[in-house]
């Protein structure tokens, strides 16, 4: 591996392909950018200012923002080159969780974005004497703004420390969003992240000057590594929020990105909006839309239609698919998705329509990837997370609880973390010594699928800790069932239940647009989703959905009952109750089980023994 540190990528960009629009965001509705040269100047001045605060290599500074800005990038590079560890926190977590992270990490300062973040961190810091000050990225009546840190002058101390930073030094603490318990601080080095960046360099068709739209939180290692990668590749990065992406005046059309990263839930929402728009059409337009949509059902990577089929695809592309691509800006080379499983139907539809979406797999503890579906069709397979990155090894640990060919994924990668900060016992639970080598126990269950040219693709079949065990002793993997449900246009979210019960049930959150259209087409008055769920016809429609899905699973896996819930599960609740999703949109199963205990018990009242 090269003797490189993460901040070196910024200086390499300045030397090799400087950008006039290196990092930008909207200010008062207008796009404003820092050039590479300006970014470097501000990074050096911010590093000097951080040292003047009394900070030294190994100290920690926390950051928390709703939306990334060029200022956050400046502080990130500024901390990295003088050995200060950035501790990015999710904006949607509670004050209690902020207090836990700030206390354990011993952060001396915290820099916050706009909205309620100052108040939340202030409340968290009331009993933290080690937290010296809260600064702000935006003007705030109680806080100094980040530009107060900028200090012009002699850079000799900055340069001296920068020269002393080693690639295997810990660069950051990334606290996992975790579905249970307190978050754990993952210690990640420069080398861990650089391995992932250089692996991406070999995969993505990126050219200097390509445009990137960034809207995921940089508190997630997925987006943070992507940001460094796009810096390394010479990209022009524009920051926005998920609320500003779509529509005629949306940022996708304004920026016309070549690349962006996303999580599957956002792709699902785009897919749902596409279907909802199709449902609004009438007559021949509606017929054409769903004819084109159904055409994608038989698509796969490497698909080559015959003469007649090619003509159908050309018509569908001209009338339907081209409009979808234009809605995404019209220039997308690759959309990268990760963090959780993307439904096959969503992946299939986008790729068939000429929008290249590629799914990868990993976790915070490997900074963050182990495998990735390649851009070349022969290197990608639907339903899998792709071949392993070059330099990664995986072994599948079998168990009587798994199906033949499945096993827990143990990984050996140059991206593997040093360990969990101050938690050696937790580290020992996931880092196993096998034949003198460190293997990470991912907790995921997987299998191998062979593709064209003998390429081995990794397929994730479930989470080891999320396997349900019925009272008959049968193990049920919830993820495949949930994915099958969510592929239908009438389902937004779903969670399978069955641990210690005789049979499997499901909690289902309907997709409002799809259900509303269905009600209109079947002569049912629509007032709101709560009232719609009272219609016997609606209940019967979801029963029919289960009747279609269940035959694809073993008898003991099939969903016998379900409950429809009117409200979506969210990563943040305005009413102060506990959120049902993590900040990365994974199900908090224990929270959902607790919140809907009454509904679950009702499904088992007449049959549970």
Predicted confidence (pLDDT) per residue in 215-270, tens digit:
999 998 999 999 999 999 999 999 999 888 877 778 999 999 999 999 888 888 88
- Asked if residue 174 lies in contact with residue 583, where contact means CB atoms within 8 angstroms, the answer is no
Question: Dihedral sign, CA of 198, 203, 209, 212?
Answer: negative
pLDDT tens digits, residue range 108-144? 999 999 999 999 999 998 889 999 999 999 999 999 9
pLDDT tens digits, residue range 400-440? 878 899 999 999 999 999 999 999 999 999 999 999 999 99
pLDDT at 553: 85
pLDDT at 609: 37
Please indicate whether residue 556 or residue 313 has the higher confidence score (pLDDT): 313
pTM assigned to the model: 0.84
How many whole angstroms separate alpha carbon 278 and alpha carbon 113? 38
Query: Among 137, 124, 123, which residue's Cα sits nearest to residue 65?
Result: 137
- pLDDT band of residue 584 (cuts 50, 70, 90) is confident
The residues that bridge with 385 in the sheet, in sequence order, are none
**Helices H, strands E: what count in the chain?**
21, 25
Two tokens, residue 567: 């409200």
> Highest mean pLDDT range out of 58-62, 341-345, 401-405, 470-474?
58-62
DSSP string, 489-546: TTEEEEEEE-TTSSSEEEEEEE-HHHHHHHHHHTTPPPS-HHHHTT-HHHHHHHHHHH
DSSP 587: B
- Asked if residue 278 lies in contact with residue 521, where contact means CB atoms within 8 angstroms, the answer is no
Share of the chain above pLDDT 90, in %: 78
468-604: CATH topology: GMP Synthetase; Chain A, domain 3 (3.30.300)
pLDDT tens digits, residue range 156-183? 999 999 999 999 999 999 998 655 568 8
How many whole angstroms separate alpha carbon 384 and alpha carbon 407? 15
Query: Among 197, 210, 209, 218, which residue's Cα sits nearest to residue 69?
Result: 218
Indicate if the pLDDT at residue 277 is higher than 80.
yes
How many whole angstroms separate alpha carbon 445 and alpha carbon 598? 31
Query: Among 266, 269, 312, which residue's Cα sits nearest to residue 293?
Result: 312
pLDDT at 608: 38
- pLDDT band of residue 49 (cuts 50, 70, 90) is very high
Q: What is the 3-state secondary structure (H, E, C) of 557-570?
A: HCEEEEEECCCCCC
Count of C-beta atoms within a 10 Å radius of residue 145: 14
How many whole angstroms separate alpha carbon 101 and alpha carbon 94? 11
**What b/e string do you get for 377-410 counting C-beta neighbours within 10 Å, with b at 16 or more?**
bebbbbbbbbbbbeebebebbeeeebeeebbbbb
The length of the chain in residues reads 609
pLDDT at 583: 83
> Any idea where the domains of the chain sit in the sequence?
20-165, 468-604
pLDDT at 182: 80
Average pLDDT of the residues of the chain? 93
| Whether CATH 3.40.50.12780 fits 20-165 | yes
Three-state DSSP class for residue 322: helix
């Amino acid at each position: 591996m090269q003797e490189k540190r993460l901040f070196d990528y910024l200086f390499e960009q300045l030397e090799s392909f400087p950008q006039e629009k290196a990092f930008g965001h909207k200010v008062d509705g207008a796009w404003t950018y820092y050039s590479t040269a300006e970014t470097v100047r501000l990074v050096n001045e911010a590093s000097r200012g951080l040292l003047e605060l009394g900070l030294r290599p190994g100290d920690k500074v926390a950051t928390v923002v709703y939306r990334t800005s060029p200022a956050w990038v400046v502080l990130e590079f500024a901390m990295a080159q003088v050995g200060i560890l950035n501790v990015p926190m999710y904006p949607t977590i509670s004050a209690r969780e902020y207090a836990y992270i700030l206390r354990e990490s011993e952060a001396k300062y915290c820099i916050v974005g706009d909205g309620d973040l100052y108040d939340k961190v202030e409340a968290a810091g009331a009993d933290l004497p080690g937290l010296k000050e809260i600064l702000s990225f935006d003007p705030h009546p109680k806080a100094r703004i980040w530009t107060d840190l900028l200090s012009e002058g002699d850079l000799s101390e900055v340069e001296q420390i920068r020269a002393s930073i080693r690639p295997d030094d810990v660069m950051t603490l990334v606290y996992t969003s975790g579905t249970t318990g307190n978050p754990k601080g993952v210690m990640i080095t420069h080398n861990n992240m650089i391995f992932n960046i250089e692996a991406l360099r070999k995969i993505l068709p990126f050219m200097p000057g390509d445009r990137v739209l960034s809207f995921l939180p940089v508190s997630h290692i997925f987006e943070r590594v992507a940001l460094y990668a796009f810096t390394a590749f010479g990209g022009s990065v524009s920051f926005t929020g998920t609320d500003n992406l779509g529509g005629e005046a949306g940022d996708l059309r304004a920026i016309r990105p070549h690349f962006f990263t996303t999580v599957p839930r956002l792709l699902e929402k785009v897919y749902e909006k596409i279907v909802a728009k199709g449902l609004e059409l009438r007559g021949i337009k509606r017929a054409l839309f769903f004819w084109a949509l159904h055409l994608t059902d038989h698509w796969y990577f490497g698909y080559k239609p015959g003469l007649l089929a090619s003509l159908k695809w050309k018509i569908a592309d001209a009338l339907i698919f081209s409009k979808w691509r234009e809605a995404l800006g019209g220039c997308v080379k690759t959309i990268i998705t990760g963090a959780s499983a993307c439904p096959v139907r969503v992946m299939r539809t986008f790729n068939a329509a000429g929008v290249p979406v590629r799914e990868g797999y990993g976790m915070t503890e490997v900074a963050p990837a182990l495998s990735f579906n390649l851009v070349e069709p022969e290197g990608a397979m639907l339903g899998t997370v792709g071949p392993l990155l070059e330099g990664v090894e995986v072994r599948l640990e079998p168990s009587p609880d798994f199906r033949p060919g499945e096993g827990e994924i143990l990984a050996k990668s140059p991206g593997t973390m040093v360990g969990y900060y101050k938690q050696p016992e937790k580290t020992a639970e996931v880092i196993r010594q096998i034949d003198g080598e460190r293997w990470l126990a991912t907790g995921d269950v997987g299998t191998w699928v062979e593709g064209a040219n003998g390429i081995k693709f990794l397929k994730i079949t479930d989470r080891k800790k999320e396997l349900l065990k019925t009272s008959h002793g049968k193990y049920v993997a919830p993820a495949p069932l949930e994915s099958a449900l969510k592929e239908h246009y009438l389902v937004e979210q779903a969670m399978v239940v069955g641990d210690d019960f005789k049979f499997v049930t499901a909690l289902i959150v309907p997709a409002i647009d799809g259900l509303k259209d269905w009600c209109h087409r079947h002569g049912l008055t629509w007032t709101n989703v709560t009232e719609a769920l009272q219609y016997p016809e609606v209940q019967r429609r979801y029963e029919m959905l289960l009747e279609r899905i269940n035959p694809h699973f073993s008898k003991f896996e099939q969903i016998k009952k379900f409950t429809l819930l009117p409200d979506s599960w969210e990563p943040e609740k305005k009413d102060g109750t506990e959120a049902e999703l993590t900040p990365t949109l994974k199900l908090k199963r224990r929270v959902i089980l607790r919140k809907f205990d009454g509904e679950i018990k009702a499904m088992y009242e007449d049959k549970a023994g």
